[in-house]
A = this chain, B = another copy of it.
């Protein structure tokens, strides 16, 4: 549910705004509501009506990625192998973070602008926690790793890949990030 407003034309505007915002995010341009408005060719007020703050818009852009991750997390829980399930989930998370700049920003943010974002994040952390618990119960992961570490570690790896790779070349960044994740997982793996 991405909660687009009801009226047909308003919905189209909403879509357009988000689309332009996504392009800007992908291009590494910091979101500015006035700027977005100008690019979409709408009045500032329209953009403000749909997204009262930059954060609200950014979170909306990040929503799709969050939802995909949630979907994957739920599938992962069906995996018999607790370690494979956890590792796969984390790999997907990293890939998404590195690919989608809005996701890394929203993930690292301590507070959210939209309730929906908070829900999604909580769902996601909870899925991660369950995957981690299963792994810990199976004795395949370091005992001192808690579910509160998952998000920071994923953010850290994505950040490391960004520092390594510069702003451009998402592919290279993805490779680097997966390499870092592999090393880290090696360190977290037990049994």
Contact residues in B for A158 (Cβ distance below 8 Å) = 156
A142 to B186 CA separation, bound complex (whole angstroms): 11
The residue that A180 contacts in the complex, of B149, B166, B182, with Cβ under 8 A, is B149
Q: How far is the CB of A69 from chain B (nearest CB, A)?
A: 17
A108 to B156 CA separation, bound complex (whole angstroms): 12
Range class of the A interface residue count: 20 to 34
B151 lies within 8 A of A163 (CB): yes
A: residues with CB less than 8 A from B are 108, 110, 142, 144-145, 148-149, 151-153, 155-161, 163-164, 166, 176, 179-180, 182-189
What is the count of identical protomers in the complex? 4
A142 to B160 CA separation, bound complex (whole angstroms): 18
B152 lies within 8 A of A160 (CB): yes
A183 lies within 8 A of B187 (CB): yes
The residue that A156 contacts in the complex, of B144, B160, B182, B185, with Cβ under 8 A, is B160
A84 to B157 CA separation, bound complex (whole angstroms): 24
Contact residues in B for A183 (Cβ distance below 8 Å) = 142, 145, 184, 187-188
Q: How far is the CB of A6 from chain B (nearest CB, A)?
A: 14
Which partner residue on chain B sits nearest A145 by CB separation? Answer: B183
The residue that A144 contacts in the complex, of B159, B160, B166, B179, with Cβ under 8 A, is B179
